[in-house]
Each structure stands twice: as structure tokens, then as C-alpha cells.
């Protein structure tokens, strides 16, 4: 089995209040980041408020799977360290009975964006959602002004399921909230298509399975 928490460059780990709170606090002083990451009123948080948030998440961990996204270190020798915090990824509102959850993801510092870390973290969390948690579907949402997020979700196979008209007010305007969904079957098909060279993808290919 492939490791669940590591990709070539990233690692999913629990947040560490001692080292992470100050970094996440710095992200929340960037209003632009907060207005892309969700639709709650943007509000800067002190490190101690971030710590409280981590404690709250710990209490709700049956329904809220929150991971710190860390850059993997290349150890010179000895065990690999935890690595620098660059973002978070989260499956929340987990409904075990129906097999559904909602996704949120953010890369905190502007310097860390645009390098494919979001895609890499998304691949990890989707595999975790479908193969570890056994979910049937994962939903995500983005305000219509957040064109980067809309493109990101569509590029990774999420389908538009609903447009909640004028559900977000910002800068004196009202914006639709676009609701996305990805089913397990769709994710499996995307994965199979990505893993198999095009010439072998035909259904009648005789036993050409990955090994």
C-alpha cells in the first residue's frame, strides 16, 4: 500500500500548536487570503486564538478531519523532520451514515502558491476520503469571484452541482456560491485514466493492470 500521508513534496500531519499557531496567525493577517479561503467575515487571529481553534478541532475530530500540510524535508541523515507548515486541508461536516463530507483547502503564504502544492494536497486528501474514510462523495464550494478556486476544482474533476444565487456579499456586490461535488466513481475513473497509458486504457485490454 502506498503511504497515505506523504506525496513527493508534502506531508499531511496534525497541527502542532507550539510551532504552527504563529504561522497560521500570520496568514490570517492577509485579508486577501481569508476572502479566498472561505466566506466567513475576514478577521485576523492571534496565535492564542489559533491555538484555541486547534483545541476545538481536536474535540470535533470525528466530524472534522483537519490536516496541516507540510513541506517534506530531505534529511541529511536520521529521521525526516515534520517540515515547514504551508497550508491546511480539511474534510468537515462528515456524515458517516450517508458517506458525505465537505472539503476545504488553503495554501497560506503567497510565496507558496502557484507551485502545485494545492493539487498535491488535494490528491492526498481525496485518496484519504475515498480509500481510508470510505466516503461516497466529497463536496466543495467557492464564491463566484474566486476564479482560481473554480478552475482548480474543475481541473481536478469536481462537477458544478448547484449555484446558490447571490449567497455571498462582498465589496458591495452579491456573488453566487458555486457548489461542487465529486463522486467516488468519478474519482476512481479519473485515477485509472491518469495511471494507465492511453494505449492500454481500452476496456478489452487483456489484464493490463497496474501492479
Partner 1 sequence: MRSQLGDLNLYRGELVRLAAMDPEQDADAFARWSHDSEYRRLLDSDPARPERAAPIKADMEKRAERGDDNGFGVHTLADDTLIGFVGLWIASWTSAEAFVGIGLGDRAYWGRGYGTDAMRLALRFAFNELNLRRVSLEAFSYNTRAIRSYEKAGFRREGTQREWARRDGRRWDVVSMGILREEWERASV
- Closest separation in Å from C-beta 114 to partner 1: 29
- Closest separation in Å from C-beta 92 to partner 1: 15
Nearest residue (CB) to partner 1, 42 versus 71? 42
Question: Site residues (CB under 8 A) for partner 1?
Answer: 39-41, 95, 97-100, 136-137, 139, 159-169, 174, 179, 181, 183
Nearest residue (CB) to partner 1, 11 versus 137? 137
Nearest residue (CB) to partner 1, 43 versus 59? 43
- Closest separation in Å from C-beta 97 to partner 1: 6
- Closest separation in Å from C-beta 137 to partner 1: 6
Distance CA 128, CA 138 (A): 11
Nearest residue (CB) to partner 1, 61 versus 159? 159
Amino acid at each position: 500500500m502506498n503511504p497515505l500521508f506523504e506525496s513527493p513534496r508534502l506531508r499531511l500531519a496534525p497541527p502542532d500548536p507550539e510551532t504552527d499557531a504563529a504561522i497560521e496567525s500570520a496568514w490570517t493577517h492577509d485579508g486577501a487570503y481569508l476572502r479566498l479561503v472561505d466566506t466567513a467575515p475576514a478577521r485576523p487571529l492571534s496565535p492564542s486564538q489559533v491555538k484555541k481553534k486547534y483545541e476545538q478541532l481536536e474535540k470535533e475530530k470525528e466530524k472534522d478531519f483537519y490536516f496541516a500540510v507540510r513541506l517534506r524535508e530531505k534529511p541529511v541523515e536520521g529521521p525526516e523532520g515534520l517540515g515547514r507548515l504551508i497550508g491546511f486541508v480539511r474534510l468537515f461536516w462528515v456524515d458517516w451514515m450517508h458517506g458525505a463530507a465537505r472539503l476545504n483547502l488553503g495554501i497560506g503564504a503567497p510565496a507558496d502558491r502557484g507551485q502545485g502544492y494545492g493539487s498535491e494536497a488535494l490528491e492526498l486528501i481525496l485518496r484519504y476520503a475515498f480509500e481510508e474514510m470510505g466516503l461516497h462523495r466529497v463536496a466543495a464550494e467557492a464564491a463566484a469571484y474566486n476564479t482560481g478556486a473554480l478552475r482548480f476544482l474543475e481541473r481536478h474533476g469536481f462537477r458544478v452541482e448547484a449555484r446558490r444565487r447571490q449567497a455571498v456579499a462582498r465589496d458591495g456586490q452579491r456573488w453566487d456560491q458555486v457548489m461542487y461535488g465529486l463522486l467516488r466513481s468519478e474519482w476512481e475513473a479519473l485515477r485509472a485514466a491518469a495511471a494507465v497509458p492511453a494505449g492500454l486504457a481500452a476496456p478489452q485490454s487483456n489484464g493490463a493492470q497496474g501492479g
